[in-house]
Every structure is written in C-alpha cells, then in structure tokens.
Structure 1
Amino acid sequence: MEDQKTRLLAGVVIPDTDVVRLAWEFAEARCEPYLFNHVVRSWLFATSIASIQNVEHDREVLAIGALLHDVTLNMSFRGPRRFEVEAADIAREFAIDAGLEPRRVQLVWDCVALNSTPSIGLYKEAEVSLCTAGICLDVVGLGYERVRAVEMKAITTAFPRLDLKKRMTKCFCHMAEAAPLTTYDNFLRDFGLRYVDGYSPPSSVDFVMNTPFES
C-alpha cells in the first residue's frame, strides 16, 4: 500500500485517511459513548500491539474492523443472527461503499465477525488477529501486560471506560433474553446462564446424539 498520512491519538500513531475518518464518524453515530470509547480503545490497543510486535498490516482495514465491530451491540438488538455477524455485514457494506477491493472487504468482515472468538481470530490474518487482540485486551484483559503502563494510562484517560463492565453486561443479558437463538454457541451463553432467569440453552451433546442417523 502507498504511504498514508498519520497522526497521534492518545500517544498512538494512527492512519489519518478519509476512510478512517468516515469509519470514526460511522461508529460515533451508532455507539453509546461508553461503547464508542471501547471501540476506539480496542483500535488503539491493536495498533500498539502491532507496533510492539512489529507486525505488518493494513492499517485502514484494522481501523475499520475495530471501530465498527460493535455497531449492533445495543438494547434494540433482536437478531436474527449473532450480533457479530450482523455487525460484520454492516461493516462490509461500509467497506464496499468506501471503495475497498474485495480482499480488504473480506478482512474487514472477518475482523468483525470473529472479534469475540479469539480461539479462531487470533490465528487468522494479521489484521484479524490484531483486531481480536485489541478487543480482547479491552474486554477481558488478554495481553494487558504487553502495553506499557504509560500508553495504557494515555489511552484510558483519553477514552475512559464509563462503566463498561456493567453496561456491556446489560446488553449481553438483553441479547440472551430477546434473541436467545443467537447466544447458544458463543460467549453470550455464559451471561444468559448466570444472569437471565429461565435461560436454558440446548446441549451440543444432544444435537450430536439426536441426529437422524443410526450411528
């Protein structure tokens, strides 16, 4: 890719391009303040990790994927598919409209769709792996020690957490209540089991044992 203009954001060097600015505006218009701060922190953490590990990557793809990964995480979500997939399709349309070529569009989709599945996302292409790493750092502290304390403070001061744990849990529980079929095979199942009365997910064991085959 050709050289891109850059700027500093909370001490992190980020690309300063039209598509990144559009992704920022797109996310800001659709995310509550706590959630917008989360997606920005996730992007900055991912970018910091790339710098620390000297990982070559498409900086615009990473920016779009991180900034748009939670555009469907809200109290109005009803499915019909997992919120990550619904968001991935929105991000894909954004990337297409922004003029990205098909391979970059697919990377954006993967960044978003796999953002909460580190057992897969961390082993995908650099952009997907970095996006997953930045998001998981902000949500569950994965790799927290990799970011220097001074950088961590700068990022969390510029984009404070605003009671993320409580607010995110509320959204996760809403999804388990309003769209339970989207939660059975992913991390939302844990929130449903712990916090939602009457939540009763099916068992994968039963799916296997009840298939219409003799053996």
Structure 2
Amino acid sequence: MRISDFAVPDTPAARGARELMHEYHSPALINHVVRSWLWAEAFAVVEGRADVDHELLYAAALLHDIGLAPAFDNHVLGYEEAGGHVGEAMAAGAGWPVERRRRINEVIVRHNWPEVDPAFDLEGYLLETATGLDIAGRRDAEIPLEFRREVLTAHPRLGLAEEFGAGVQEQAARKPHSHARRLLDGGVIDKLAKNPLERV
C-alpha cells in the first residue's frame, strides 16, 4: 500500500475543498485532514469495502474540521455541524444536487459520532474510523506500518496534539452540549499525547 495508490480527485468539489483547506487551516490541520483522507482510503482497502464514493470521502475529509476555523465558528452549533454546512455550501457551488449536498454534511457531522455503522453510512464510517486513528490512535496496527511511515513522512503531525486539543477545549467551554465536550470528557487531550502515530 502506497500513497500513490490513492488518486486525488480532480473535480470542482475536490478543488473547492482543497482551496478552503489551504485558506483556513494551519499547516498542522492541513496535514491532519489529508492524513484522515488517506487513512480512510486505507481502511476501505484493508476491510475490502466496495462502492466507496471517493469524491465525497475526499471532500468531506478535507473539510471535516473547517468548523474550528474562526471564520466558520458557530456560536451555537458544534464545530462538526458548522463544518457540515460549509461542506454543503461548497458542494452547492460545485453543482452537486440537493441529496448529494446533504451527504457531505452528514459525513462531516458523523465523523464526530462515537461510532458509525458502515451499512448506514459507509463514507461516514470511514471518516470516523480514520479520524479516530489520527486523533486517538485507534486501530493503528490495522494499517500497514510502512504505509503509516510514508503518510507521516509526507504529512507530519507538527503541533496537531496541542492545536487540536486547544481547539476542542475552547469549543467545549463555549458549547457544553456539543461533541467537543464529549471528546474532552472522554480524555481526548491524553489520547492525543499518547497516540502511537506520534512515535512512528
């Protein structure tokens, strides 16, 4: 398994997601969202998942944390819900029909669920699984070590643990009803620090 095995989509939505990612994310978060896409694609291969909507998965992965950016922060909604609306607006501009626009919103929101049934939402499951690996180190051994090393060399973690941890803490303080609060209460700060990807 190599990074080159996974083709980067070249569509209006994919290009739009990349532009937003580069404009509104720090280098650490850019690397995080790109790694999340690669882990999601890798889990699909490891698990033999067919019928993955690769364009949808890519665009959702690149935008899944865009709600943490100050420009898109919502004073009521959790950052994944705010990000879902950004994704939906971007997809509308890319010409996606209404139902497909709703799908990117759903996938972004569901990446923060504790668990997603792949029979219910395959792309949501893959993104939730991938971000679980990149943030908390879940299921790291299921991805080949050489691929993990290649991805981390190409897209290093930089200050992700500190930056993402601070963002979740700030969101949880202002939005105690949100998934950010659940993540914080679930020990995300400790999980970030102890993530085995920090030592690959």
**TM-score tier after normalising by the smaller chain length:** 0.7 to 0.9
The one-character-per-residue Cα deviations of 1:47-73 (angstroms, maximum 9, x if unpaired) are 111122221211000001100011121
- Percentage identity across paired residues of the two chains: 23
2:126 to 107, 130, 144: 130
User: Displacement, 1:90?
Assistant: 0.6
1:13 to 6, 10, 16: 6
- Note closer, same or farther for the CA distance 1:22–1:12 as it changes in structure 2 (3 Å cut): farther
8 A contact 1:12–1:47 mirrored in 2: no
- Note closer, same or farther for the CA distance 1:75–1:158 as it changes in structure 2 (3 Å cut): same
SS at match of 2:7: strand
1:161 to 154, 157, 163: 157
Q: Normalising to structure 1: TM-score of the pair? A: 0.76
User: Displacement, 1:173?
Assistant: 1.6
SS at match of 2:6: strand
8 A contact 2:2–2:147 mirrored in 1: no
1:4-153 correspondence runs (5 A): 10-18=3-11, 19-55=13-49, 56-74=51-69, 77=73, 79-120=75-116, 124-153=120-149
SS at match of 1:67: helix
User: Displacement, 1:101?
Assistant: 2.3
User: Displacement, 1:46?
Assistant: 0.3
User: Displacement, 1:121?
Assistant: 6.1
Letter in 1 for 2:45: S
Alignment partner of 1:173 is 2:169: yes
- Note closer, same or farther for the CA distance 1:12–1:142 as it changes in structure 2 (3 Å cut): farther
Q: CA RMSD in A?
A: 2.4
- Count of residues paired in the alignment: 184
The one-character-per-residue Cα deviations of 1:146-196 (angstroms, maximum 9, x if unpaired) are 11001101111111001211111111122233x2xx2335342453798xx
Matched with 1:191 is: 184
8 A contact 2:172–2:180 mirrored in 1: no
Gaps of 5+ in 1: 1-7, 195-215
SS at match of 1:66: helix
Letter in 2 for 1:20: A
Aligned mates of 2:172, 2:15 — CA distance in 1: 33
Point out the structure with max Rg over C-alpha.
1
SS at match of 1:14: coil
Letter in 2 for 1:68: L
8 A contact 2:81–2:109 mirrored in 1: yes
SS at match of 1:72: helix
8 A contact 1:11–1:154 mirrored in 2: no
User: Displacement, 1:75?
Assistant: 5.9
SS at match of 1:28: helix
Gaps of 5+ in 2: 188-200
Q: By percentage of residues, which structure has more helix?
A: 2
8 A contact 1:12–1:48 mirrored in 2: no
